[in-house]
Chains A and B, each alone.
Chain A
Amino acid sequence: MDYLISGFIGAFKLLLSGDAETYSAVITTIAISSLSIVLSLIAGIPFGFLLGYFNFAGKRQVRAVVDTLLALPTVVVGLLVYAFISRRGPLGELGLLFTILGVALAQTILITPIVVSLTATAVESLDKRLGMTLATLGARGGQLAIATILEARYAVLIAAVTAYGRAISEVGISMMIGGNIKWHTRTITTAIALETGKGEFSMGIALGIILLSLALIANSLLIGLKRRN
């Protein structure tokens, strides 16, 4: 029990003293997850919009696939992406393995289904009168799509925050694709795994506290948005 307490004390010492290793992991985490959230929004919002807005044959099946992908295990994504971006893989020439970009791309695969599914649901649950209102005010084609997404913006932001939460907290992909390289691809979660493996509980707990704070910030944002919606 006392190692836990000394862990907490050590954690606050690390945080307050501005330990460079700790903050490097924090910045890497934020950089990777920010990059992956931007990419997943760019890919996921249009797809989610199409899925929620239009009715087409096979729509239910596509939804079922997307909803299944919500449960993608991180290690499966990690393994698949590794197979592709390893030097011996088809995309090996790009040199993405053990880079921030590589981890971000793999995380994008992980979290895009979240963005797609939640965006589609958001668009589907928009007021039935919206389309007619936009049409009668003179919106056409792309203007309709943009205004529809804007109407769903709070729900889409909720999707983004949810996806971000998944990105910052996953460890499988960061470990397999990033390689946990100190000062480069070591994220909060891989650092926790490493420090715990080394028996450095205070460092692990310090990083855990930061991760929880990030999740807390994301979630308070989410609660605020839900209220506005």
Chain B
Amino acid sequence: MADPALLRAEDVEFSYGDQFSLHVPEFIIPERSVIGFVGPNGSGKSTFLRVLAFLVKPHKGSIFFSDDAVSFDNDEITRHVTFLPQDPYLLKRSVFENVAYGLRVRHDHKNLGERVRGVLRQVGLSPDLFAERQWHELSGGEAQRVALASRLILRPKLLILDEPTANVDRESALLIKDAIVLLRREYDTALVIASHDILWLSGVAERIDKMVQGRIAGYVSENVLPGPWSRKSGELWSRMLPDGQVVRATAPPSENASALLSPRDIILSLKDPEGLSARNALRGHVTAIAMEETRESLTVTATVSNLSLHCRLTVQAVRELGILPGSSVFVIFKATSLRWNERDSS
């Protein structure tokens, strides 16, 4: 928790004409952290990521890197941050030269060949098969992996990824995810990952921020409920928890699919509501209550059997409930609030 900030953005503003503006009062990336980033297209997410990567200069505000204020033309600091866009561009050179480029411009030629081959292996590309290929001889997934390899080889202190798995095949997506996790584990790289793949983000990120209309809408951590699911009757499916309680859901895409549950869709109650069968009411107890960055709401974490579920409540609601860590509560949500991850359909 007490990790010092690797990067701190203060009062960043960026506007596009009159219609839209980005405004982030404060944004902190702790050292070695992984931060997920979600938000609809056009929310300003990609612009903000480019600001964090020192590629776009904000119209207002300042950014501190390891407590040093960064001017956008300061080579040495900005070279610690690198960015992988959603649709990366490969230089019109061989795979080897694409990957080696970042080291060449840093005049770092030591063991260049071995290092290039190493990162190619990390992204699942055989150096013997791919190193000498030209940029136009790659599939979309291969190109994305080459682009990632050309960033991994730099061992940045901060790697920012914009939808790294959006336009690639399933196999490439898995390899990219593995490589990102490995980077963090081996080189203490901090990561900011924007993705629609909330399931994966929930697995790797310590924090997920959401951007809506140019504002960071605060801390959101999607709950994940893994399978297996079994059919109960008609459209109703269920999942038995180890303590015998049952979670009801709509038809999943496959038996082992994971369901997502937004913290906003959960309410807590001290009494069993005894109601519709399509509504889940699970017995559990509160394990944590945390203040959100926006200071308008609280995140209450409740444990139900072996699940840990986050729910988002107003300060007012928590006060009225009178709950504290340790309190017994019913966790209530509709079966239709469980969302299925499209990726699990195959």
Contact = CB atoms under 8 A, between A and B. Distances in A.
Direct contact between the two chains A and B in their complex (CB within 8 A): yes
Interface of A: 127, 129-130, 132-133, 135-140, 143, 147, 150-151, 153-154
Contact of B106 (A132, A133, A138, A153): A138
Contact of A139 (B89, B93, B105, B151): B105
Nearest to B79: A138
A133 B91 contact: yes
Interface stretch (B25-33, B58-66, B80-88, B118-126): B80-88
B103 to A, nearest CB: 9
A204 B101 CA distance: 52
A90 to B, nearest CB: 43
Contacts of B319: none
B53 A129 contact: no
B105 A151 contact: no
B243 interface: no
A143 B105 contact: yes
B88 A137 contact: no
B154 interface: yes
Interface string B87-122: 111011100000001100110000000000000000
A150 to B, nearest CB: 8
The secondary-structure label for the interface of chain A is helix
B91 A147 contact: yes
- Chain A CB within 10 Å, residue with most, of B87, B88, B91: B91
Contact of A137 (B87, B93, B154): B154
Contacts, number: 50
- Chain B CB within 10 Å, residue with most, of A133, A137, A139, A140: A137
Closest 3 pairs between A and B when the two form their complex, measured CB to CB: A129-B89, A137-B102, A136-B83
B91 to A, nearest CB: 7
Contact of B105 (A127, A137, A153, A154): A137
A135 B102 CA distance: 9
A29 to B, nearest CB: 33
Interface string B45-72: 0000010010100000000000000000
Given A132-B89, A133-B89, A140-B105, 15 more contacts: A129-B87, A130-B89, A132-B55, A133-B88, A135-B55, A136-B55, A137-B82, A137-B102, A138-B79, A138-B102, A138-B154, A143-B105, A150-B92, A153-B92, A154-B92
Contacts of B75: 140
Q: Number of contact residues on B: which range applies? A: 20 to 34
B105 A129 contact: no
Nearest to B99: A137
A127 B91 CA distance: 10
Interface string B115-158: 00000000000000000000000000000000000110010000
Contacts of B93: 150
Interface of B: 50, 53, 55, 75, 79, 81-83, 85, 87-89, 91-93, 101-102, 105-106, 150-151, 154
Contacts of A130: 89, 91
- Chain B CB within 10 Å, residue with most, of A136, A138, A153: A136
Nearest to A135: B55
A129 B150 contact: no
B15 to A, nearest CB: 20
A140 B105 CA distance: 8
Contacts of A138: 79, 82, 102, 105-106, 154
A140 B77 CA distance: 13
A162 B55 CA distance: 37
Nearest to B160: A136
Contacts of A137: 82, 101-102, 105, 150-151, 154
A127 B82 contact: no
Contacts of A135: 55
Contacts of B89: 127, 129-130, 132-133
Nearest to B106: A138
B82 A136 contact: yes
Contacts of B92: 150-151, 153-154
A137 B148 CA distance: 11
A154 B134 CA distance: 15
Contacts of A133: 85, 88-89, 91
A137 B80 CA distance: 10
A140 B92 CA distance: 19
A154 B135 CA distance: 14
Contacts of B50: 132
30 contacts: A127-B89, A129-B87, A129-B88, A129-B89, A130-B89, A132-B83, A132-B85, A132-B89, A133-B85, A133-B89, A133-B91, A135-B55, A136-B53, A136-B81, A136-B83, A136-B151, A137-B82, A137-B102, A137-B150, A137-B151, A137-B154, A138-B79, A138-B102, A138-B106, A139-B101, A139-B105, A140-B105, A151-B91, A151-B92, A153-B92
Nearest to A152: B92
Contacts of B106: 138
A139 B104 CA distance: 9
A137 B53 CA distance: 11
